[in-house]
Amino acid sequence: MEDLFAARLQMAISLGFHIIFSCIGMTMPFLMAFAEWQWLKSKQEVYLDLAKSWSKGVAIFFAVGAVSGTVLSFELGLLWPGFMEYAGEIIGMPFSWEGTAFFLEAIALGFFLYGWNKVNRWVHWASGIVVGISGVISGIFVVAANAWMNSPAGFDWVDGQAVNIDPYAAMFNDAWFSQALHMTIAAFVSTSFAVAGLHALLLLKNPGHVLHQKAYKIALTFGAVSAILQPLSGDISAKDIAERQPEKLAAMEALFETEKGADLLIGGIPDVERATVDYAIRLPKMLSFLAHGDFDATVTGLKEFPRELWPPVQITHIAFQVMVLSGMLMATVGLVFLLFYWKKKEILYKNWWLWVVGICTPLGFIAVEAGWVVTEVGRQPWIVYRMFKTADSVSPMPGLQYTCYILSTLYLLLGFVLVFLMKRQIRVVNKKNMQIMVEIIIVVLGIAFVFYTLLGGADFGAGIIEVFTGKKGEKAISKATSMGG
C-alpha cells in the first residue's frame, strides 16, 4: 500500500467513524432535554425515565466520540505535516475554541448525569441544554476549519509563506456558513431518524410500550422537521459550490461539457473516458436553475479544467446521488409522519408504518457519510483548494500503512465496545445496573481525557512529538501549537 493512499484511507476511516458520534453529540442532548422538559411540565414518570435513559446513551456516545476525536487530532499531526506547517497559524483558532466547547460539554454532561435530585430541577434541565449547545458549537468550529480548506481566506501568500494572517477572516470564510448550516441540520436528521427507527423497531417487539411510544414520537418529530428543512440548506450549499468550486459541482453532476440550460441528473454511472453518463434520468435545465437560479444559466463543465485537476468523478457523483436520495426519502417519510400525526394518529403505531420508520434507521448516517465523501473527494487533488495538493502534504515517514492497520483495529474495538454498551443500556431495567453503566462511562471518559491531554488536544497531536524527540521536537511543536491560538 502506498503511503499517500494509506494516509488518505486512515483519515477516511477515522473521519467516517468520528462523524457519527459528532452528529449524535450535537443532537441527542436536545432530545434528552426535551424529554425532561416534558416531565417537568406533565409530571409523567415515563418522560423522566426516557430522559434518564437517553442521557446514558449520550454519555456512551460522548465517551467513544472523545476517544475517536483524540485519535483524529493525533493523526493530523502525524500524517499531514505539510498541511500543518502552513495551516496551523491560519486556522488554529477554531480548533482551540472547539477544545473549549468540548470541555464545557463534558462538564455540563457530568452535571446532568450526577445532578438528578441534587440541584433545582430547572437548573438540571438547563445543564442538558448546555450540553446540546456546546456540542453544536463544537461541531460548527470544526466545520469552519474544514470550510477554510474549501475556501481559504485570512492571509496573503508571499514567497512561500503566509503573512498578514487574520484568524477571524480565516474562520468566517465564504464557505463556513453554508457548510455549518448543512452539517448541523444533517446531524439532527441523521440522529433523530436513527433514534426514532430504533424505538419503532422496539415497538414492533413490544407493542404498547409507553416509553418507546413517547421516544419514537419525540425523535421522529425532530427528524421530520429537520429533514424537511434540509433541502433548503442543500440549495444554499449547491449555489455556494457552483460559485466557489465549479469543478466540484461538475463532478457531483458528472457534467463534462459546459452547458447553458444544463440538465439535472438523477442516478447514472459516469464514464470518464467517454465523458458520458449512462442510465441517468435527466431533468431539463434544472441544474442551471438549482445552481444559479436561472433555467438558462451556464454551468461550467469539467473540460474547462486541466484533466489532472479533476476530482474523482465517479466517486463524487455516486456519493452525491446517495446523499440526495437518502435525504429525499427521509423528507418524504417526515412529511407523511407529520400528516399522520395531524390527521391520522391511529396509523402511527401500525406495524407497516413502524417498519417504514425502522428501515429509515441508518439512512441519515448513510447520507452524512456520503455528503462527507462529496465534500472531501470533490476537493481533490487539493488539501487546501487551489493552494496545496494532498500529495504534497503527506508525511515523508515510511510505513504509514501500519498506523492505518493499528487505527483500523482500534476503531473496530471501539465499535465492539459501543455495541456492547448500547445493548447493555437497552437491557438495563433497574437502578443498580444503571449506576454500573454510569461508572463504566466515567472510566472511559477519564481515559479519553488523559489521551486528549497527552496528545495536546487542540494542537492536533503535536504534543506527542515531544515524547519521542525531546528538544528536537520543539520546532515542530511550536508550529503546531500555534494552531491552538
Most confidently predicted of 104-118, 155-169, 348-362, 439-453: 348-362
Residue 399 has pLDDT above 70, yes or no: yes
The residue among 403 and 295 whose pLDDT is bigger is 295
Q: DSSP states of 302-326 as a string?
A: GGGS-GGG---HHHHHHHHHHHHHH
> For position 408, what pLDDT does the model report?
82
How much is the average pLDDT of 319-340? 95
Instruction: Give whole-number Cα distances, 414 to 188, 251, 389, 437, in Å.
Output: 23, 34, 32, 16
Decide if pLDDT at 145 tops 80: yes
**At residue 307, does pLDDT exceed 70?**
yes
Residue 320 pLDDT class (50, 70, 90 cuts): very high
- Cα–Cα separations (whole angstroms), residue 164 to 87, 95, 154, 167: 13, 20, 8, 10
| Cα–Cα distance for residue pair 410/70, rounded to 1 Å | 12
CA distance linking residue 465 with residue 77, whole number of Å = 9
pLDDT of residue 424: 72
The pLDDT value given to residue 453: 53
Average pLDDT over residues 239-244: 92
Is 337 a residue whose pLDDT tops 60?
yes
pLDDT, the chain, mean: 85
Averaged pLDDT, 409-436: 68
Joined grid coordinates for residue 179: 457548510
What pLDDT does residue 276 have? 93
| pLDDT value, residue 397 | 81
- CB contact at 8 A, 172 and 354: no
Query: Over 90: is that where the pLDDT of 440 sits?
Result: no
Angle at 150 between CA 285 and CA 377, to 5 degrees: 75
CA–CA distance, 298 with 303 (Å, rounded to integer): 14
Are 282 and 265 within 8 A, CB to CB? yes
**At residue 151, does pLDDT exceed 90?**
yes
Task: Say whether pLDDT at 300 is over 90.
Answer: yes
CB 464 within 8 A of CB 79: no
CA–CA distance, 79 with 407 (Å, rounded to integer): 13
Among the listed residues 138, 150, 48, the one whose alpha carbon sits nearest the alpha carbon of residue 95: 138
- Using the predicted structure, report yes or no on whether residue 472 has a pLDDT greater than 60: no
**pLDDT for residue 485:** 32
| pTM of this structure | 0.85
Instruction: Give the number of other Cβ atoms within 10 Å of residue 175's Cβ.
Output: 26
pLDDT at 159 over 50: yes
- For 81, the grid coordinates are 505535516
Is 467 a residue whose pLDDT tops 70? no
Strands 298-299 and 276-278, sheet pairing: unpaired
Q: What is the mean pLDDT of residues 333-353?
A: 93
Is pLDDT above 60 for 177? yes
pLDDT at 430 over 50: no
C-alpha cell at 430: 433497574
Q: Percentage of the chain with pLDDT > 90?
A: 56
Average pLDDT over residues 455-472: 44
* Per-residue pLDDT, 465: 43
Q: Quick one: 361 exposed, middle or buried, by C-beta within 10 A (0-12, 13-18, 19+)?
A: middle
Higher-confidence residue of 471 and 446: namely 446
Task: For residues 353-367, give the mean pLDDT.
Answer: 95
Q: Indicate the range of 71-75, 330-334, 355-359 predicted with least confidence.
A: 71-75
Phi, psi of 299 (to 5 degrees): -110, 130
Q: Output 455 or 56, whichever has higher pLDDT.
A: 56
For position 385, what pLDDT does the model report?
Answer: 92
CA–CA distance, 270 with 254 (Å, rounded to integer): 6
Highest mean pLDDT (candidates 127-131, 384-388, 442-446)? 127-131
Measured CA distances, 144 to 140, 169, 313, 390 (Å): 6, 11, 25, 19
pLDDT number for residue 475? 45
* Residue given cell 464514464 in the structure block: 271
- Percent of the chain with pLDDT strictly greater than 70: 87
Q: Residue 92 — very low, low, confident or very high, per pLDDT cuts 50/70/90?
A: confident
pLDDT band at 69 (very low <50, low <70, confident <90, very high): confident
Q: 3-class DSSP state for residue 265?
A: strand
Mean pLDDT (whole number) for 125-150: 93
